[in-house]
Structure 1
Amino acid sequence: MSSNQIEYSSKNEAQSKASVISFHGLKYETAFGPKRQKEQKKILRNVSGVFEPGLNAIMGPSGCGKTSLLDLLAKRRDVRPDEVSGQVLLNGREYPKCFKQLTGYVVQDDVVFGSLTVKENIIFAANLRLKTSSAKERDEIVRDLLSELNLDKCADTRLGTELIKGVSGGEKKRCHLATEMITQPQILFLDEPTTGLDAYMSYSVMSSLRQLADNRGCTIIFNIDQPRLYIYTMFDKLHLLSCFGQTVYHGKAQHALRYFANLGLICESHNNPADFFLDIIMENSDSGEVLQNSGRDNLAMKFDNDRRGDIVTSFKSDQIVVSYPNSDHDEEEVIDKKNLPKMFQDSAEALQMLSECDQILSLSQNYKLEQIRNKNKNNFSVGFILQVLFLMQRQVKDFVRNPEACFLPPIVAIASGLVCGIVWFDLQLTGTGFQNYFGALINAVMILCFQNIAAVEIFIRGRAIFMHELSNGYYSYFAFFVSKMLSDMLLMQFLPTLLFVNFFYWMAGLPSDFGIYIFSILTGIVLCMCSSAIACLFSIALNDVSMAANLMSKTLILSFLFAGLMVNIASVSKGLSWLQYISIVRYGINCLSIPIIGPANFCGERSFKLENGTTLSGNICVSGRDLLDDQDMPYKGEEKWFNLGMVVVIWAVIIIMSFGKLLTLKKRK
């Protein structure tokens, strides 16, 4: 039995709780460019390795496939079967269905709520991801995490938004890390954890990771760009990629310099190892362009055009040979560049790595994966109702702490109600009163619809957070959607609508009948909900606020156009006349006109000229129902409920479309 086998056997007890990820001959290629001009690009080429408990770093030049490798190991990238080949195993076996519950993934951007405090963000993650029934137990876990990640001092400080200054970048990154560590995952993935941080904050974050690896035995895998020396010394294992996704080195981080020194590539004492690795990879990158990980002496050929003729580039041993066969004299130029991927394949380090992979496969029965038992069919830690409640609780906090969202809509609603109330103050049932009444109701409907254009931001602003939390199993699509709709209705629709309708209704002197008043409020709320649903649909379908707002405004203008007020619907072609049946403006005006104008009588001095030329004048009363008939709004008492019901039907259809579109969004990191 070899020394490696003895070492593995002696660690069987420790490995029973450890998580080891191994990848064998991993290849990944995908298509780039327009649909008709897509080109296949190879991202990873026959990459293998083993990551054990500790800090495992993936390094290489920009565009070498570091993030792709990390995502494939973390099962966070949607790929077609024909794009990926090779094996990725957990403890020598295929990934279990509960893999995402065993792992955490910290994305490069900090996807946490800036309006919430550090502690509140972690508590939210604990509420949705921990199965412990006791709130006291959850609080204790949160308290321990705050202490372990040195977040005690800033626990009650908001993370910060564009308008509110919050915690530092390092503290925000550690807060995000805490939300992933709340489930005590066996494996933790991080996408460039030091990006955007200064030297001290980077060291603080990496020290926290080092502490987690030592105290909890976590397998921590991350990609990182050119870390400083004192950060590099924390690494346990290093995987270096070439510019073209090939393995240049895989092994213990502290042995990497010795490995390259044996190849004649010596790092100066004053040089940072991370910078040194990047330099030698870039300097010797030409050989990787055509190398397909073949073990032959004559590895690859490539052809190009030059002013002297065809250039033939070949690789013999560890040199690049450039020849010009069509020149007057057979010329041959030797470029002293090392074939680093090929040299690693032939190295003792590569043989040791492959030996480790084989031993993991043979000793897979000695690994015991801590399976997570979940009574819920959908593998969520809490049920649907609790998911909705916790989501709404967070949205209420975010709403209250956002001055623009909290105070601006009610102020705008009051101002709009006052202006409209002043313009149509104390309307009278005179001969010309119908025009004033009808104009006032049209204006009210338009304000109720257009006031929700700002709601297009409701989903776009939190899209990144939603996609990340959904991928990590915080909640279901439906729970998120229901919580958004309920919170939007209660916080953004009910109060502004109530304020506007009250100021406008009583200042304009509309009927004091309590039933009509309540129906008017109900109509206003339903109209707001419908226009908000349109905003929700565009915000889900598009990822640009200005474009979504533009399309929504055009949709409402089209609805106003086919309400029958600016054009005679009978004169419109049959191909477009059907749009009147989906016009929420048309149904909204009908809802308010039928109970308010219908029962009224408009009396005033009127003149009529007979056919014989005689003119009659006098005080004449015309019923509101007759005037509505002239506007193609046949008066019937029950018609108001029909029109309100049609708005509800349109709202329901748009809501279903919005949820359907939400389901099509791909889960991301």
Structure 2
Amino acid sequence: MTDYIKGESKLVRGDEGRKVRGKLLDAVSARHTSLTSGLCTAQDCQVCVAAFLSFVGYNCEPYNNPADFFLDVINGDSSAVVLSRADRDEGAQEPEEPPEKDTPLIDKLAAFYTNSSFFKDTKVELDQFSGGRKKKKSSVYKEVTYTTSFCHQLRWISRRSFKNLLGNPQASVAQIIVTIILGLVIGAIFYDLKNDPSGIQNRAGVLFFLTTNQCFSSVSAVELLVVEKKLFIHEYISGYYRVSSYFFGKLLSDLLPMRMLPSIIFTCITYFLLGLKPAVGSFFIMMFTLMMVAYSASSMALAIAAGQSVVSVATLLMTISFVFMMIFSGLLVNLKTVVPWLSWLQYFSIPRYGFSALQYNEFLGQNFCPGLNVTTNNTCSFAICTGAEYLENQGISLSAWGLWQNHVALACMMVIFLTIAYLKLLLLKKYS
């Protein structure tokens, strides 16, 4: 064993080793007591054990490790029992009611402790600590008290989440890099869209891709509540924070940097490379729409992932849900032609609301037949020539509400999904 006190390395064995360990434990316990402002530490436990053994008749030598001495006593070996017997032979006082000789030493110590003042004093302290409460065991364990406010807990949870985000480049920097590369690739494929009949198809295709990309990029939000599920349960039952502070702290650390920032970068890259409508208002509407789609999809991911224990299961459920939502987005099938008993599914499609808003923002006011005077000829006999005609063909209203109703629907879905996620966390079984 290494002698840390003198800074020398030497091997000690037997009784000498126990004394050295006893000195080390005494020094460490004394220092630990000063660090804990006088609270009960292992040093107090050593004193209690030594006092009890001395009261029974087994005297622990100075600086002898009480743990080793106690093992020697109950095992009946080493010099502990020999010394105690010698002391009793010289006139040491025997216990008032010594047990029978054939009784094992462990049973003797247990019986003596049950009848001693140590046991009675400890029982009184435990009764006082419990306060005489006679509630059921389950209700007692479910009482969680907090010493800090909601704002204090929210601040520290958000700070810890941001530090974890910065410390994990694969989840933060890598996503930004992938967003930039993907934006450049999409910009190169659909570069400088033309205002001709082919531009209608290209615009519809790229807007659909932007919407679905925001949805599938939000699948990573399932890890937010699944990976730290055990940590959340442990810290919650320990009284570290409330469910609400944990939930909102996670939202601040995920929705702001991981959903908003990629949407801004993606819009800035693709909008100008694609040559979309040259209007400031249209640019910010597209950015806001992509952010709302990402927020709604992330909220849906949290609602599905809350309470799950395996990331792959939550990811599979999210992927299947988005595949069905894509069918009712408005590109793969004209929603006006869907049978009535299935048409109601379109109102639960996140891509549909995002795609409709992007189409309204881009197509309204556009002319895709430059050689045709659309002011004198309201309709084209052979093809759709104006953005308004295309929107009407898709069943999109040309009024202002035709645009903003999509954002209202996305906001409502986001609130509903976040409420479901919060309730699932609140009702999660936290006590085994």
Tell me, in whole angstroms, the C-alpha distance in 1 between the residues paired with 2:406 and 2:218.
21
How well do the aligned residues superpose, as a CA RMSD in angstroms?
A: 3.9
- Code of the residue aligned with 2:189 in structure 1: it is V
Tell me, in whole angstroms, the C-alpha distance in 1 between the residues paired with 2:124 and 2:253.
54
Identical amino acids, percent of aligned pairs: 26
1:429 partnered with 2:220: no
- Code of the residue aligned with 2:190 in structure 1: it is W
- Deviating beyond 6 angstroms after TM superposition, the runs of 4 or more aligned structure 1 residues are 205-209, 266-269, 342-345, 363-369, 617-621
Q: How does 1:29-178 map to 2 (within 5 A)?
A: none
Shift of 1:646: 0.2
The structure whose residues are more often helix, as a share, is 2
Residue aligned with 2:385, SS: strand
Label 1:394 to 1:367 Cα distance change in 2 as closer, same or farther (>3 A). closer
Tell me, in whole angstroms, the C-alpha distance in 2 between the residues paired with 1:383 and 1:467.
19
Aligned to 2:281: 515
1:357 partnered with 2:119: yes
Q: Which of 417, 420, 431 is equivalent to 1:657?
A: 420
Tell me, in whole angstroms, the C-alpha distance in 2 between the residues paired with 1:540 and 1:445.
24
Q: Which runs of 5+ in 2 are unaligned?
A: 1-21, 51-65, 81-101, 132-142, 373-379
Shift of 1:465: 2.9
1:218 partnered with 2:40: yes
8 Å CA contact retained: 1:396, 1:487: yes
Shift of 1:501: 0.9
Tell me, in whole angstroms, the C-alpha distance in 1 between the residues paired with 2:26 and 2:339.
71
Shift of 1:484: 0.9
Tell me, in whole angstroms, the C-alpha distance in 1 between the residues paired with 2:244 and 2:393.
46
8 Å CA contact retained: 1:387, 1:479: yes
Aligned to 1:633: 396
- Deviation readout 1:55-88 (Å, 9 max, x if unpaired): xxxxxxxxxxxxxxxxxxxxxxxxxxxxxxxxxx
- Deviation readout 1:128-166 (Å, 9 max, x if unpaired): xxxxxxxxxxxxxxxxxxxxxxxxxxxxxxxxxxxxxxx
Shift of 1:596: 1.1
- Code of the residue aligned with 1:516 in structure 2: it is S
Tell me, in whole angstroms, the C-alpha distance in 2 between the residues paired with 1:576 and 1:209.
73
Tell me, in whole angstroms, the C-alpha distance in 2 between the residues paired with 1:465 and 1:431.
56
- Deviation readout 1:361-405 (Å, 9 max, x if unpaired): 457799999xxxxxxx98433322222222222222222222212
Q: Which of 305, 308, 323 is equivalent to 1:539?
A: 305
- Code of the residue aligned with 2:323 in structure 1: it is I
Tell me, in whole angstroms, the C-alpha distance in 1 between the residues paired with 2:27 and 2:325.
56
Tell me, in whole angstroms, the C-alpha distance in 1 between the residues paired with 2:25 and 2:239.
26
Residue aligned with 1:602, SS: coil
Tell me, in whole angstroms, the C-alpha distance in 1 between the residues paired with 2:273 and 2:79.
83
Residue aligned with 2:171, SS: helix
Q: Which of 401, 405, 416 is equivalent to 1:642?
A: 405
Residue aligned with 1:563, SS: coil
Tell me, in whole angstroms, the C-alpha distance in 1 between the residues paired with 2:171 and 2:125.
58
- Deviation readout 1:322-357 (Å, 9 max, x if unpaired): xxxxxxxxxxxxxxxx9xxx9689635234235443
- Deviation readout 1:460-489 (Å, 9 max, x if unpaired): 333333222222222211111111111112
- Deviation readout 1:598-626 (Å, 9 max, x if unpaired): 221220679xxxxxxxxxx9998722121
Shift of 1:591: 0.9
Q: How does 1:314-393 map to 2 (within 5 A)?
A: 347-353=108-114, 355=116, 356-361=118-123, 379-393=145-159
- Deviation readout 1:538-580 (Å, 9 max, x if unpaired): 3323121222222211111111112233245566565543221
Q: Which of 559, 565, 575 is equivalent to 2:331?
A: 565
Q: Which of 487, 494, 498 is equivalent to 2:260?
A: 494
TM-score where L is the length of structure 1: 0.47
TM-score where L is the length of structure 2: 0.70
Aligned positions, number: 350
Aligned to 1:255: 70
Aligned to 2:63: none
8 Å CA contact retained: 1:594, 1:636: no
8 Å CA contact retained: 1:605, 1:620: no
Label 1:235 to 1:253 Cα distance change in 2 as closer, same or farther (>3 A). farther
8 Å CA contact retained: 1:605, 1:618: no
- Code of the residue aligned with 1:218 in structure 2: it is C
Shift of 1:438: 0.9
Higher CA-based Rg? 2
Residue aligned with 1:565, SS: coil
Q: Which of 455, 461, 467 is equivalent to 2:227?
A: 461
Which one has more relative contact order, counting CA pairs under 8 Å at least 6 apart? 2
Label 1:343 to 1:571 Cα distance change in 2 as closer, same or farther (>3 A). farther
8 Å CA contact retained: 1:540, 1:658: yes
- Code of the residue aligned with 1:657 in structure 2: it is I
Tell me, in whole angstroms, the C-alpha distance in 2 between the residues paired with 1:503 and 1:469.
42
Aligned to 1:484: 250
8 Å CA contact retained: 1:604, 1:620: no
Q: Which runs of 5+ in 1 are unaligned?
A: 1-202, 222-232, 238-250, 270-337, 370-376, 607-616
Label 1:400 to 1:603 Cα distance change in 2 as closer, same or farther (>3 A). same
Aligned to 1:590: 356
Label 1:562 to 1:258 Cα distance change in 2 as closer, same or farther (>3 A). same
The structure whose residues are more often strand, as a share, is 1
Q: Which of 201, 205, 210 is equivalent to 1:439?
A: 205
- Deviation readout 1:443-475 (Å, 9 max, x if unpaired): 110111111222222223333332222222222
Label 1:437 to 1:348 Cα distance change in 2 as closer, same or farther (>3 A). closer
